[in-house]
Structure 1
Amino acid sequence: MSQTNILVMGASGRMGSMLVKLAEQDPGLNLVAMLERQDCVSNLPDADCVHGFDLDHVLSQAGPGVIIDFTQPEATVETARIARSHQCPLVIGTTGLNKEQDILIQDVASQIPVFWTPNMSIGISVLLELLPKLAQALGPAYDPELMEIHHRMKKDAPSGTALKLAQAVAKAKDWPEEDSLRLCREGMVGERPDREIGVQTLRGGDVVGEHTAYFFGPGERIEVTHKASSRETFAQGALRAAKWISEQAPGRIYSMTDMLGLD
């Protein structure tokens, strides 16, 4: 059986350590390197592969492979630059990137295969296909809203997944995203406009991830909820993406929709 070489960024973190654990159990994957910040390298889990903090140096030791990054925006952007210089495919699960960082990732994707999605769950991917159809079928009498809940350690808000779901609904309704998404309500905001999608954020405890889409209509309310009970769901999706992206050509950013053939 052929194997896909992978390198895991942030390998001592919650997501990184799960990726390492599952990669070692998968006969189709070969874990060639784990990386962390210089002050955290000593926290890396035990694994028979290259350890380090400098991706350039690690690649010279471990050789090429698919790089998986679930870290922070600044670190992910630097990883993307180095991946491009070494012509290594890249899987990104990082959220919270700004527009400038987003543009850089798009530029990198024109030169190396890049897989980037805010949520590696297959269930969320199906939800992204379902919600636009639901919004169109219900029509203008139903007001769409979104709420997301994550653990207290999550740094960005709202979640990348919540934004992606809201954007999908806005597109289905042909509403300009910049005008329709309301990320915060406070004070005397007035009556709810017809073309608005509120995206609300809750943080607390150890919630892995929960997203609920609401459609408030006359005399009834529809709720569609996705709850992730384990980070293993996202890790398995990322490892599956690593195998898939290794066989794709550069030119654009790929997503779960592409991999699952849902487009």
Structure 2
Amino acid sequence: MRKSVFISLLFLPLVGQAATTPMLSEEPSWQRYYEEAGVKGVFLLCDADASHCYTNDKARAETPFIPASTYKIPNLLIALETGVIKDPDQIFRWNGEPRRLKQWENDFTLRGAVQNSVVPIFQQFARDIGERRMSSYLHKFHYGNEAVEGGIDHFWLDGALRISATQQVQFLQRLNLGQLPASKINQLRVKDILISDATPDYVIHGKTGYSLGAPGYGDRNAPGVAWWVGWIEKGTATWYFAGNIDVARDTDVAARKSIPLKILQGRGILP
């Protein structure tokens, strides 16, 4: 049986122009997917104006976790806004030094750097942005707890930054609606770069992330966390989503997308 509760602070008035209080419906049937995969996690799905959201776990939807590479979304926008990225079409050359993943040892376009989640490129963006400007933009964006402690080039990987699924969706809505305090053209550029799937029937804008945890910031005994966040456009309809799972073993990571895909297919949003 579906339980519905009203959340007065889930989305601030910054999202769109709607003044209605969004309703969050619990979907306990989704929990079976997590049990079958042997992982703990949450999936949050919201309609276009955030008037109604659905989740398998209300408490976890409001629990902040380290964003990992989902932070590439604001990092990219800030780099564009500050001029750190001077040309959205530029090629980012590999300097020949070994990188943690062999697939990163290549030259990348900006789109390729996002799609392949090339951490070293975004770490350089962060160093060039600097802590003062980064902190200022996180505050203006109301992004999670806005914390940049832990190192300017890895605070989103194993530092102090935290964000919940509800906050992820709030941020993504503002980005898609062009309502962040940033230029419209750069918000459009980020939206375009985030396209991961495009078919005649639907388009998915999204980003994954995976962190092993942050031992120095209260997560010493916590498992890793893996994310998938974004939004889906299908005809005139839009759905925003954010999901995360605990990762105890490497084989768990795939469930960050496989479970949400089952949920989205079950609701008829994706084929």
Normalised to the residue count of structure 1, the TM-score between the two structures is 0.25
**Larger Rg computed on CA atoms:** 1
